A and B are shown apart, each in its own frame.
Chain A
């Protein structure tokens, strides 16, 4: 157990754990503080300044960068704080592409949540418009799109790429109102070091980084990735008996919610049109579709003739333990040979 810290937020006595910051402590106690650039898995950046709070009745500070201390007295709202937040928000929204109904983050967007809480002065907002034209969208990556017109410059993607993935593919380029996130050296992402892991996409709090061809699943099933030996835990999203998405399983001890490009975006082979859907038997050099009965009977007839060391089976490192167990049991107990191997050696 971590050491407990007692503090007061908006007049309520609450407890937090040592090492938490004021924003985390407050959210943990169900007291909302507007925030955009904080992410629990990343170092706080203090960039959006929306999480401003008042400490001990005196100074204001940024909650996500202030560690909790015993006896601290925090106020999350005041007229002065509200005004600061409004201005900060309006600067973000002024050039934002607010076509919310057409955005996959609609109803889950952190910016909507902030706007809902903080409110805006529409007149001032009109005057703030900086840009006449929209910025070009970077859709160079085959799996996701970056729309800078929806970006709130929270930097979560940049920190994810360096702290979580360790690829350091993207960064802020330009300054002030010209700032934009891009591949290193302002290049499109496809030409950067980007490894297409999509970790930044899942963490983007708004609709700036979004998966291409996304379909919202009707339900999800917890399972394990089928590509490499890391065995990352994942949730497959299902819609109309098709796999439409994959999401990391935060409770997986092997992967703690992370996935690589194959695990996250590689699921589309499952419903590929070239999947084999029926047994095939070769007749005069051509494959013709056959029923299971026909195919199995033929196999049984032939296998029965080649029992013992004239038979061999090669099992698959892609199949389950249960599949593999039965394949070797069949080879040994039914076919009477130890000629069984798999492709591990390769």
Chain B
């Protein structure tokens, strides 16, 4: 997030794109509702009638996968009506002319046709977003899990720059990160193309720095992404997999492919707190300590590094993940793994990661610190880009965009669009499924479908249904609800007995390589 969670409540306009905030990020959802009660305007962009839509001033119920078009249409209105922030664009941004050029294709009539949202509604929302300052955009998986994911993110930034809503309190573009420490896992370089702090592996001087810090020769060949790793296991070029705390069986797009890949790989180690469905394919399973049993830090969605503290002894013979990794490395005679505490590890992290340079456990005792925090006397950064953008010129770059289709469009054989989403009561599933009460609140998978579609396909409420995509098939129960628009059905992916992601499509966003779990086409039959 460019801004902080606590600022959201003071925004005068909030636009929530593709996020069911009250379920996915409940505490941020509270902030949105609080702002609304104080009189802020709320724009909800979502194919589904999510809870926030009930109180929204503008509810743009677009066709799944058409976000770019809608956001560009809004930008066009703001431009045509002169509602943009001229001085911000002149002083802080570049590439404006090319961007304006690309808006030519997004006249409201075409935008209405593509998105299914009436043009007056688009124009009204655009005016609302542009005329209330500060305005904050929140977005989530709904935006990034598309073939067009990267474009969606750019379209959101374009809109914010156009109205000068960056670098100020309660404004900004605020991606809501799903898991507790996705932000941290990225910051720490658990990505194939960057070392900790997003320092590119391809840069010679960066590599040299890490070679000397780690005392090891490092490769310059780029690594594979999550989905590519599973493809390579499938094809046999990857022979050993070390899977730490993840369950691709339920979380991976096109998970039957992932499952086969796990069967094929020669040697697989799974390190987790439970014997997950994926762990069953492992050759060795290592018991890991849970968050309550170890010290360390998590970095939340607002870039705040916070202390995690050990509350109890590790359960059984389990060990903290960092200890296990050190132990394996030492047994392989590697140097640089003699840590005796997470605090020591953080010292090394700070020494090689400029944005974490000023972070120490001692400072974190008094509350979290938001990166960039380059030095020990730096107070941290609640708001990004207040003076410059992290680009070569320091300017924010407008990006011209075009409309691209989703990988899968509905057709006769697969007439419905399936999207996956999250329940308030579960998180992926490995942990929450083992909490008795959370299972009572939501105990099984349901296919959510519009009443008219249900009639057309002969489905009964609470009846059984078989859902089939090009990639796989599952059986589940039906829940008829007009919260789903016609032509679209939705399911969660928390339940191992109904592995929704068997059906989803692993077509990748060409830049971010994010699988498009949000859009995949299916047919449904009553059973």
On A, residues with C-beta under 8 Å from B are 142-143, 163-166, 190, 195-197, 212, 221-233, 236, 238, 241-243, 251-256, 258-262, 265-272, 274-282, 287, 290, 292, 295-300, 302-306, 308-334, 336-346
Q: Which 5 A-B pairs have the closest CB atoms?
A: A277-B316, A231-B300, A338-B223, A320-B296, A316-B245
**25 A-B contact pairs sorted by A residue (CB < 8 Å):** A226-B308, A233-B306, A243-B311, A258-B27, A262-B438, A276-B274, A276-B285, A276-B316, A282-B284, A295-B284, A303-B267, A304-B332, A306-B239, A312-B229, A313-B242, A316-B321, A317-B182, A319-B244, A320-B321, A332-B219, A333-B214, A337-B219, A340-B192, A342-B226, A345-B144
A121 CB to nearest chain B CB (Å): 43
B274 touches A313 (CB 8 A): no
A219 CB to nearest chain B CB (Å): 9
Residues of B close to A343: CB separation below 8 A:
179, 182, 226, 246, 251
Q: Which of the residues B331, B438, B513 comes within 8 Å of A297, measured between beta carbons?
A: B331
Residues of B close to A299: CB separation below 8 A:
269, 284, 328
Residues of A close to B286: CB separation below 8 A:
276, 279, 295
Q: A142-B436, A229-B180, A256-B6 are in contact. Are A279 and B37 (CB under 8 A)?
A: no
Q: Which of the residues B176, B237, B288, B297 comes within 8 Å of A310, measured between beta carbons?
A: B237
Q: Is B282 an interface residue (CB 8 A)?
A: yes
Q: Which of the residues A312, A326, A341 comes within 8 Å of B337, measured between beta carbons?
A: A326
Q: A274-B434, A304-B332 are in contact. Are A321 and B187 (CB under 8 A)?
A: yes
Q: Is B153 an interface residue (CB 8 A)?
A: no
Q: Which of B315, B339, B513, B517 has the most CB of A within 10 A?
A: B315
Residues of B close to A242: CB separation below 8 A:
312
Whole-angstrom CA separation of A212 from B288 in the bound complex:
29
Q: Which of the residues B317, B334, B432 comes within 8 Å of A266, measured between beta carbons?
A: B432
B192 touches A339 (CB 8 A): yes
B379 CB to nearest chain A CB (Å): 13
Q: Is B121 an interface residue (CB 8 A)?
A: no
B200 CB to nearest chain A CB (Å): 11
Q: Closest residue of chain B to A343, judged by CB?
A: B246
A232 touches B27 (CB 8 A): yes
B317 touches A277 (CB 8 A): yes
Q: Is B48 an interface residue (CB 8 A)?
A: no
Interface residues on B, range: 35 or more
Q: A166-B34, A224-B307, A317-B180 are in contact. Are A197 and B193 (CB under 8 A)?
A: no
Whole-angstrom CA separation of A336 from B221 in the bound complex:
10
Q: Closest residue of chain A to B271, judged by CB?
A: A316
A318 touches B26 (CB 8 A): no
A320 touches B287 (CB 8 A): no
A303 touches B332 (CB 8 A): yes
Residues of B close to A346: CB separation below 8 A:
145, 226, 251-253, 514-515, 517
A321 touches B297 (CB 8 A): yes
B275 touches A330 (CB 8 A): no
Residues of B close to A306: CB separation below 8 A:
239-240, 266-267
> Which B residues, 18 to 72, have Cβ-Cβ distances below 8 Å to chain A?
22, 24-30, 33-34, 36-37
Q: A330-B328, A344-B186 are in contact. Are A164 and B30 (CB under 8 A)?
A: yes
Whole-angstrom CA separation of A147 from B320 in the bound complex:
42
Q: Is B325 an interface residue (CB 8 A)?
A: yes
Q: Is B243 an interface residue (CB 8 A)?
A: yes
A270 touches B441 (CB 8 A): no
Residues of A close to B186: CB separation below 8 A:
342, 344
